[in-house]
Amino acid sequence: MSLIIKNNIEFNTNNLDNEMLLKLYKSMLKPRMIEEKMLILLRQGKISKWFSGIGQEAIAIGVTMALDKEEYILPMHRNLGVFTTREIPLNRLFGQWQGKASGFTKGRDRSFHFGTQDYKIVGMISHLGPQLGVADGIALANLLKKNNKVTAVFTGEGGTSEGDFHEALNVASVWQLPVLFCIENNGYGLSTPTNEQYYCKDLADRGKGYGIESHIIDGNNVIEVYTEINALAESIRKNPRPVLIEFKTFRMRGHEEASGTKYVPKELMEEWAKKDPIENYQSYLRDHGVLTEEEEVKMKEEIMQEIHDNLEIAFNEEFIDPNLTDELNDVYKSFVYQQIKGNNITKEIRLVDAISEGLKQSMQRYDDLVIMGQDIAEYGGVFKITEGFVEEFGKNRVRNTPICESAIVETAMGLSIAGMKAVMEMQFSDFVTSGFNPIVNYLAKSHYRWSQHADVVIRMPCGGGVSAGPFHSQTNEAWFTKTPGLKVIYPAFPYDAKGLLATAIEDPNPVLFFEHKGLYRSIRQDVPTEYYNLPFGKASTLRNGEAITIITYGAGVHWALEVLNDNANINADLIDLRSLQPLDTKTIYASVKKTGKAIILQEDSLFGGISSDISSLIMENCFEYLDAPVKRVASIETPIPFATQLENQYLAKGRFKNELLSLLQY
Ligand SMILES: Cc1ncc(C[n+]2csc(CCOP(=O)(O)OP(=O)(O)O)c2C)c(N)n1
């Protein structure tokens, strides 16, 4: 067949045989027909929100058909065609949209917000952009395994304005990751037209700025999409690299059905309606005798029947019967701690050395563990924790990153999806704000949403007393203890730090591992030289007394010890929490029930810190045993200041002794 132009769509069979041409057609018909049915159900109030991909089918179908089934695809909210082309049983898709147990999220998330390892699809989170960095992580795993696989990830043109897009492209470029970045430029991001979204002519041009090869493809021409992506995917498998594609297309319906299309000029709608990817392709196939009327009728009947049968299954399925235990149990992937004892040979080392040693021994233990962070390779990290690691483990596993916390958290997530382990070093815990979204929304929620764990440890050098001002001194554990799905560890001693870091890396769940910089070089202890681990959720009682319970962690432990060492007459239990999430309430309650008084010391400012929750827990569980109100001692309600005099006033340390004495006298 020669080149045929229909409504400005240039169809050229590119040597595809008739079978393939028909397969492309049927693959586009299926999501279109499902959508048409869904729109009816939506009007009948039988499903919730619907994001339409009508008019954009050629992109999802062409890309999915061009990839192998073992290659991951990360679609967005208009890419039903990815799911149908990977042949997910329709009853499960319908069950997902109805919040039924047969869906992919046990009713915990809606629409296309799910992934499935069985079909190598990783669904989006609402925040759009994180998908792109997660694709980097999967691609990094493929690159390291040298398995010649390509990963395709989608974004709308609106999503390209997010920082995640730029970070992900930059990382993919610097590391030459085999990712196909697919922008579906459909003219509008909700109601925002492209000229209010970006100022360049074509988004494909952005590739140049990142040193990434880019192409523009007619997104309404399924043959062009399929053949070009097929060729590109083949080339990326042989020569791993990122490629940016801008698909030109149009969103024919509202952002979601309720939002309508009033803001779209009528002429624009009419112009694009003429370019419908299915109608034009159908008439092209018909004109050339590839598709007969009978065949088409048969195809449609088959699809209609499949939709009908599967809808019946989904509608007949009972609604979910909530079970509290199931809900709580699915927040984390189950992990059974198995004790590994260290050897008897110990060496006195500093906290910083213990972390370094623990990390190194985990790298030796897990071949698939990758460490990422700024300046961590040859330079050894700003605190020198990874010094010498490149020599031992090579640059593939000890990776310097660009300054892009979000993309690296997302990359770590992608590594986990591909079955690897990741440790990320935040240069300072303060900078976690730049990677906050993927931590609290992606890593934390992933297991609960679709049973995908995040085998990621984020190391967090934190804490004050170092005259480093508001952006290099924070202790921000409270931002994470509040988020279900994360584990939060905060050791105060070298022995605990080494053993708990080992467990953090063993544990397949996301762990925020706080390391107080002020303790790095000031605290020494005898530590077993070999690998060992310690359980999460177990506090350690450092002093035993009868008069009062002191509960603290991190630097607070050393502040309390100083007071107790200088005042031998204070008869206190001193509890070092070590693990904030999970929290060892058993040890806390047992101690408070014994002493009748509790004081909680935290380095962070008071309001909303974990001391407030511990205080409430004590009130709720030990009230009858209390001889005094529970006291919280914390830093003042300002940012942490730089000048030593101001910082001393800020920190809780200076107030702790007086508060302790006055509670003792209550
Ligand atoms: C971080 C974030 N900001 C805003 C939104 C609300 N929102 C959801 S989709 C969307 C438009 C996305 O446009 P685009 O990326 O072009 O994709 P399209 O919907 O056009 O396919 C907006 C603004 C969101 N989900 N997440």
Beta-carbon contacts of 206 under 8 Å, excluding residues fewer than 6 positions away, are 160, 169, 200, 214, 244
Interval 414-428 mean pLDDT? 98
> How far is 277 from 281, CA to CA, in rounded Å?
6
Confirm if 311 and 37 have CB atoms less than 8 A apart: yes
Span between the terminal Cα atoms of the chain, in Å: 94
Whether residue 228 has its Cβ less than 6 Å from ligand 1: no
Residue to mutate, 153, 190, 436, ligand 1, most ligand atoms under 8 Å from C-beta:
190
Fill in the DSSP letter of residue 441.
I
> How far is 112 from 97, CA to CA, in rounded Å?
8
pLDDT for 9 equals: 83
Confirm if 16 and 289 have CB atoms less than 8 A apart: no
Q: Is 61 in a helix, a strand, or coil?
A: helix
Residue 59, phi-psi category: left (phi > 0), alpha (psi -120 to 50), beta (remainder) = alpha
- Match 């993927």 to its residue by tokens: 438
For residue 10, the Cα-to-chain-centroid distance in whole angstroms is 40
State which ligand 1 atom lies nearest to the alpha carbon of 56: 21
State which ligand 1 atom lies nearest to the alpha carbon of 189: 13
pLDDT digits (tens, 9 = 90+) for 171-182: 999 999 999 999
Confirm if 126 and 190 have CB atoms less than 8 A apart: no
Residue to mutate, 76, 113, 128, ligand 1, most ligand atoms under 8 Å from C-beta:
128
Query: Measured at the alpha carbon of residue 481, what is the angle toward residues 578 and 613, in degrees to the nearest 5?
Result: 85
Strands of 467-581 (E only): list them. Answer: 487-489, 511-516, 524-528, 540-543, 548-552, 572-576, 579-581
Fill in the DSSP letter of residue 327.
H
Closest CA to 362 of 496, 531, 491: 531
Beta-carbon contacts of 583 under 8 Å, excluding residues fewer than 6 positions away, are 537, 577, 610, 614
Helix (H) or strand (E) holding 222: helix 222-238
Whether residue 90 has its Cβ less than 6 Å from ligand 1: no
Tell me, in angstroms, the distance from the centre of ligand 1 to residue 128's CA.
7
Fill in the DSSP letter of residue 624.
G
**Band (492; pLDDT cuts 50, 70, 90):** very high
- Rounded to 10°, the helix 57-66/277-287 angle is 70
- Rounded to 10°, the helix 18-43/277-287 angle is 140
pLDDT for 192 equals: 97
pLDDT digits (tens, 9 = 90+) for 569-619: 999 999 999 999 999 999 999 999 999 999 999 999 999 999 999 999 999
Is residue 151 predicted with pLDDT exceeding 90? yes
Helix (H) or strand (E) holding 633: strand 631-635
Whether residue 653 has its Cβ less than 6 Å from ligand 1: no
Cα dihedral 162, 169, 189, 441 sign: negative
Whether residue 278 has its Cβ less than 6 Å from ligand 1: no
Beta-carbon contacts of 22 under 8 Å, excluding residues fewer than 6 positions away, are 285, 290, 291, 295
> What is the average pLDDT value for the chain, to the nearest integer?
97
| Percent over 90 (pLDDT), the chain | 96
> How far is 100 from 137, CA to CA, in rounded Å?
31
pLDDT for 2 equals: 58
Instruction: Count, in order, helices (H) and strands (E) of the chain.
Output: 25, 23
Helix (H) or strand (E) holding 600: strand 598-605
Extract the tokens encoding 407.
């993309």
Give the burial class of 217: count Cβ atoms within 10 A of its Cβ; 0-12 exposed, 13-18 middle, 19 or more buried: buried
Mode of pairing for the β-strands spanning 579-581 and 548-552: unpaired
Residue 252: how many CA atoms within 13 Å on its side-chain side? 20
**Band (133; pLDDT cuts 50, 70, 90):** very high
pLDDT digits (tens, 9 = 90+) for 327-358: 999 999 999 999 999 889 999 999 999 999 99
Q: Is 491 in a helix, a strand, or coil?
A: coil
State which ligand 1 atom lies nearest to the alpha carbon of 126: 25
Confirm if 81 and 57 have CB atoms less than 8 A apart: yes
Q: Is 615 in a helix, a strand, or coil?
A: helix
Phi, psi at 661, each rounded to 5° = -65, -40
> How far is 52 from 258, CA to CA, in rounded Å?
11
Q: Is 234 in a helix, a strand, or coil?
A: helix
Whether residue 251 has its Cβ less than 6 Å from ligand 1: yes
State which ligand 1 atom lies nearest to the alpha carbon of 186: 20
Overall size of the chain counted in residues: 666
Beta-carbon contacts of 548 under 8 Å, excluding residues fewer than 6 positions away, are 570, 571, 572, 573, 595, 597, 598, 599, 660, 663, 664
Catalytic residue chosen out of the listed positions 255, 472, 516, 558 = 472
> How far is 188 from 661, CA to CA, in rounded Å?
64
| DSSP H stretches of helix in 317-350 | 324-329
State which ligand 1 atom lies nearest to the alpha carbon of 51: 19
pLDDT digits (tens, 9 = 90+) for 19-64: 999 999 999 999 999 999 999 998 898 887 899 999 999 999 999 9
pLDDT digits (tens, 9 = 90+) for 253-292: 999 988 899 999 999 999 999 999 999 999 999 999 999 9
> Which protein residue's CA is at the shortest distance from atom 11 of ligand 1?
189
Confirm if 130 and 410 have CB atoms less than 8 A apart: yes
Confirm if 456 and 422 have CB atoms less than 8 A apart: yes
Interval 353-378 mean pLDDT? 98
Tell me, in angstroms, the distance from the centre of ligand 1 to residue 444's CA.
21
Helix (H) or strand (E) holding 294: helix 293-316
Is residue 113 among the annotated active site residues?
no
pLDDT for 47 equals: 81
Going across the sheet that includes 243-248, the strands are: 73-74, 151-156, 179-185, 243-248, 213-218
pLDDT for 1 equals: 56
Whether residue 399 has its Cβ less than 6 Å from ligand 1: no
> Which protein residue's CA is at the shortest distance from atom 22 of ligand 1?
190
pLDDT for 45 equals: 86
Whether residue 78 has its Cβ less than 6 Å from ligand 1: yes
Residue to mutate, 255, 257, 263, 436, ligand 1, most ligand atoms under 8 Å from C-beta:
255
pLDDT digits (tens, 9 = 90+) for 606-653: 999 999 999 999 999 999 999 999 999 999 999 999 999 999 999 999
| Percent over 70 (pLDDT), the chain | 100
Tell me, in angstroms, the distance from the centre of ligand 1 to residue 77's CA.
9
Cα dihedral 265, 266, 267, 272 sign: positive
